[in-house]
């Protein structure tokens, strides 16, 4: 498949070729861009501006970029027996395990990474009573539809969490949340969203939790491609599954928040420029998204690279994840840089950032930088700080304690269109003893 090339050092208007020996390369490049715009973005022959593409590459990356066309979406659901569902779940488990081994062999026996892995195992062991209850819900609840195909690439699967059967849907259907899980770009998996999916769906929201390729199965462009494919699939199928196509919300946590922000920003700029952009395939309309919520997000990879290196996500690995054609592209994949200097910031939907002040993984000032960058371009943005909360406590430890779920309440507030904290989610029963949660919080590697 040919590649879309954006060369920051090339000229916007190629010189005229000699009469008898025409130079085919500029013509071939421009004609491919035009065909791609017409085919993939359905803009009906809109003429792309190579100069605009080059300006964006200079603004964000200052280097040559390549992008391949995305695989086709799966259009129909496939009905499977319980045995087939179990075999698919087993296959996915083995795949994640195999990729984890490959990742560990890539890292070698570094003491920091080994220590993080051991702490992660201990963390999961301490919270096992809660995780077992979630596993029972995930595998046996009729409200969960697992591993629906949204595309043809590896791990192009999503889980659907539906409200209880006795809930009467609104006239246009239930509101829809598209959720992108975290996992440090290496250990993410759609089942990690089961706790949030269960809580939100219980309160009348349909939740689509997307899986996507992780490193070493893919780099950031592959992850973005998967997320764009999955988001477009949900936008296309939500109404068929009881969702309100006019009430769509994008939510991401950790690196999932980075992917959500990048996807939204790139689609908005792509729509404004009327031209394909790196990381914008396949295209979908950002106007279909009412709001984006980022939870403990990573928004400035360039500034956080050394911090991640000190914490065990070594620079050699991080650069490889954030690479294009073998070259690290940290600014290209940083939403804070991608939104700077744009003219269309006011066209973005409402952006809500939820971040713990005690987050030692994605530092809190990383969220304030993104908020400030959005404000500078006229975007509607709010940042709510969770005082004393860590990277994972709003998503895992606090909900397992029971009581009032602040994160769910804030997301429901966004879905209802009200101010943060007005969601009115009721108190929940605890899933795990408090002393185990306290111990797990102390050993959490994130």
Is 250 in contact with 260 (CB distance < 8 Å)? yes
159 beta partners = 209
Q: Which helix (H) or strand (E) holds 196?
A: helix 194-202
Name the 3-class secondary structure at 365. Answer: helix
Q: pLDDT-based confidence at 89, cuts 50/70/90?
A: low
Residue 293: the pLDDT is 98
Say yes or no to pLDDT of 74 above 60: no
- The closest of 363, 348, 357, 230 to 300, measured between CA atoms, is 363
Query: DSSP string of 66-123?
Result: EEPPPPPPP-S-----HHHHHHHHHHHHHHHHHHHHHHHHHH-S-HHHHHHHHHHHHH
The verdict on 57 and 150 lying in the same domain is no
- The closest of 331, 325, 327 to 68, measured between CA atoms, is 325
| Catalytic residue set | 254, 359, 391
Can you tell me which residue has the tokens 């391949």?
68
Do strands 206-210 and 157-161 pair parallel, antiparallel, or not at all (unpaired)? Answer: antiparallel
Asked if the structure places residue 83 within a domain, the reply is: no
| CA–CA separation, 232 and 155 (whole Å) | 16
Average pLDDT over residues 370-380: 97
The contacts of residue 306 (CB under 8 Å, 6+ apart) are 315
The verdict on 62 and 184 lying in the same domain is no
Say yes or no to pLDDT of 431 above 60: yes
Residue 43: the pLDDT is 30
Asked if the structure places residue 89 within a domain, the reply is: no
The verdict on 153 and 278 lying in the same domain is yes
Residue 292: give its domain's CATH number.
3.40.50.1820
Say yes or no to pLDDT of 61 above 60: no
Is 33 in contact with 66 (CB distance < 8 Å)? no
The verdict on 187 and 223 lying in the same domain is yes
Say yes or no to pLDDT of 174 above 80: yes
The verdict on 40 and 101 lying in the same domain is no
Q: pLDDT-based confidence at 70, cuts 50/70/90?
A: very low
The verdict on 26 and 134 lying in the same domain is no
| CA–CA separation, 101 and 90 (whole Å) | 17
Other CB atoms within 10 A of residue 74 CB? 17
The verdict on 196 and 295 lying in the same domain is yes
Asked if the structure places residue 73 within a domain, the reply is: no
The verdict on 275 and 368 lying in the same domain is yes
Average pLDDT over residues 13-30: 43
The verdict on 61 and 99 lying in the same domain is no
Q: Which helix (H) or strand (E) holds 136?
A: helix 128-140
The verdict on 377 and 269 lying in the same domain is yes
Residue 79: the pLDDT is 56
Tell me the average pLDDT of the chain.
81
pLDDT tens digits, 349-359: 999 999 999 99
Name the 3-class secondary structure at 367. Answer: helix
Asked if the structure places residue 25 within a domain, the reply is: yes
Is 234 in contact with 260 (CB distance < 8 Å)? no
Residue 103: the pLDDT is 58
The verdict on 115 and 62 lying in the same domain is no
Asked if the structure places residue 12 within a domain, the reply is: yes
Residue 360: the pLDDT is 93
The verdict on 165 and 46 lying in the same domain is no
- Indicate the number of domains in the chain: 2
Is 93 in contact with 169 (CB distance < 8 Å)? no
Which of 80-89, 133-142, 219-228 shows the lowest mean pLDDT across its residues? 80-89
How close are the terminal C-alpha atoms of the chain, in Å? 39
Do strands 174-180 and 157-161 pair parallel, antiparallel, or not at all (unpaired)? Answer: unpaired
Range of the domain at 22: 4-67
Asked if the structure places residue 265 within a domain, the reply is: yes
Helices (H), 8-49: 24-36
């Amino acid at each position: 498949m040919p590649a879309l090339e954006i060369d920051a050092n090339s000229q916007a208007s190629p010189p005229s070729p000699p009469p008898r020996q025409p130079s085919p390369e500029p013509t071939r490049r421009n004609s491919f861009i035009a065909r791609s715009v017409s085919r993939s973005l359905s803009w009906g022959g809109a003429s792309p501006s190579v100069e605009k593409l080059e300006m964006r590459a200079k603004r964000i990356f200052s280097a040559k970029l390549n992008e391949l066309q995305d695989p086709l979406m799966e259009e129909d659901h496939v009905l499977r027996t319980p045995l087939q569902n179990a075999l698919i779940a087993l296959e996915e488990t083995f795949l994640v395990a195999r990729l984890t081994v490959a990742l560990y062999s890539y890292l070698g026996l570094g003491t920091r990474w080994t220590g993080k892995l051991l702490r992660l195992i201990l963390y999961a062991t301490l919270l096992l009573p809660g995780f077992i209850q979630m596993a029972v819900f995930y595998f046996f609840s009729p409200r969960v539809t697992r591993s629906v195909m949204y595309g043809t690439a590896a791990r192009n699967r999503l889980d659907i969490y539906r409200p209880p059967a006795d809930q009467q849907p609104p006239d246009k259907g239930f509101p829809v949340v598209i959720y992108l899980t975290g996992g440090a770009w290496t250990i993410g998996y759609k089942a990690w969203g089961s706790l949030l999916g269960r809580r939100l769906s219980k309160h009348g929201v349909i939740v689509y939790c997307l899986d996507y390729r992780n490193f070493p199965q893919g780099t950031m462009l592959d992850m973005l491609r998967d997320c764009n494919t999955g988001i477009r699939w949900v936008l296309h199928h939500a109404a068929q599954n009881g969702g309100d196509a006019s009430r769509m919300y994008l939510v991401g946590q950790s690196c999932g928040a980075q992917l959500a922000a990048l996807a939204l920003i790139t689609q908005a700029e792509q729509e404004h420029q009327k031209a394909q952009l790196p990381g914008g395939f396949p295209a979908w309309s950002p106007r279909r998204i009412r709001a984006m919520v980022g939870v403990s997000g990573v928004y400035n990879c360039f500034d956080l690279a050394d911090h991640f290196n000190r914490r065990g996500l070594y620079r050699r690995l991080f650069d490889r994840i954030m690479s294009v054609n073998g070259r690290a592209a940290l600014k290209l994949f940083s939403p804070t840089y991608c939104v700077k200097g744009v003219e269309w910031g006011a066209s973005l939907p409402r952006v809500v950032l939820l971040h713990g002040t005690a987050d030692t993984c994605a530092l809190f000032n990383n969220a304030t930088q993104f908020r400030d960058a959005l404000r500078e371009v006229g975007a509607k943005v709010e940042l709510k700080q969770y005082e004393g909360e860590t990277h994972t406590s709003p998503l895992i430890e606090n909900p397992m304690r029971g009581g009032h779920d602040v994160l769910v309440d804030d997301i429901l507030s966004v879905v209802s269109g009200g101010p943060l904290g007005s969601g009115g989610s009721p108190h929940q029963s605890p899933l795990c003893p408090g002393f185990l949660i306290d111990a797990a919080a102390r050993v959490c590697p994130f």
